[in-house]
Amino acid sequence: MRVAIACDHGGFPLKASVIEAVRSLGHEVVDFGVDSEERVDYPDFAEKAGRALQRGEVERAILICASGIGVNIAANKMRGVYAGVCHDTYSAHQGVEHDNMNALCLGGRIIGPELAKEIVRAFLNAKFLGEDRYQRRFEKVQALEKEAQRS
């Protein structure tokens, strides 16, 4: 699987651990930055990873800012990007299995590197269950998304 990684300066300290976890599972990392703790605007980097998801260049994305919230808000403004802030393993796998989440958002100032690795593993090892109820609910989310595009 190809996995986009993007962060701002607040997420940069956690980025290396996330990349290590992705690679340890045999996945390819597509790095959209940043490469330092120099201040940048998180929406710019959430957008880079989100566009890669939209174009089908990656199957999943992991976005990191100080809290995870900023990149989550930005990513969820993009059609076809289904992002969730997860600071525990249950949310990370359940978000994929039940909600078809394709972008994991992490808070670099909220969790440490070892927990981040476990969360990344839970996220990347999960598959959308696609059972009737989950598919039906996901289609309702997509309908809301289409309505938002029209208004």
Catalytic residue among 7, 65, 86, 105: 65
Partners of residue 85 on adjacent β-strands: 105
How is the beta sheet containing 103-107 ordered, strand by strand?
Answer: 28-31, 2-7, 60-65, 103-107, 83-85
d(CA 102, CA 42): 18
Q: Is 98 an active-site residue? A: yes
Reply yes or no on whether 86 is catalytic.
no
The C-alpha torsion from 142 through 63 and 27 to 58, rounded to 10°, is 40
Distance CA 26, CA 49 (A): 20
DSSP strands (E only) in the chain: 2-7, 28-31, 60-65, 83-85, 103-107
- Mind telling me the catalytic residues? 65, 98
